[in-house]
Amino acid sequence: MNEHHYKRRLQEASAAYPVQKGAERQSTRPGQGRENYRAEFLKELGERVTVTENGRRRKLSKQTLTIKRMVADAIKGDAKARDHLLRLIGQIDAFDAGTELATPTAAEDAEIMARFKARLIEEIKAQQGPEKSDLTP
């Protein structure tokens, strides 16, 4: 590319992206002026969106919607969602207890599974009504 082409392309680019006199030009470096990922992530999860639930329009946070979806998928039998949910419940329990998160033992896994299974059965019974309550914990 010769000098003439270079100058012409520079003029075209300047015309396409004008900067007002006295205004600072924004940096094009990645990450410049961005919050850290944790703050950005929490900000995004806290954003509220309008959804229709049971025929009613409601504003819920993205975090709430994510949790509702994960629980619904686990109830439907999605093994990956169930495993993820169980891990999350274990992390929340460890955080609430103030202990450092460690790999759960087989007994702890069984206890978590039993609590989760009982909770799921109660939710399914509530959704099905009294006539189909043949599930036992």
Nearest to 87, CA basis, from 103, 99, 72:
103
Q: What would the pLDDT profile of 59-112 be if each residue is shown by its tens digit?
A: 999 999 999 999 999 999 898 988 888 888 888 888 777 765 556 677 787 888
Which letter, b or e, does each residue of 4-41 get, where b requires 16 or more Cβ atoms within 10 Å of its Cβ?
A: eeeeeeeeeeeeeeeeeeeeeeeeeeeeeeeeeeeeee
pLDDT of 27 strictly over 60: no
Give the chain's mean pLDDT.
77
pLDDT of residue 59: 93
Q: What would the pLDDT profile of 68-81 be if each residue is shown by its tens digit?
A: 999 999 999 898 98
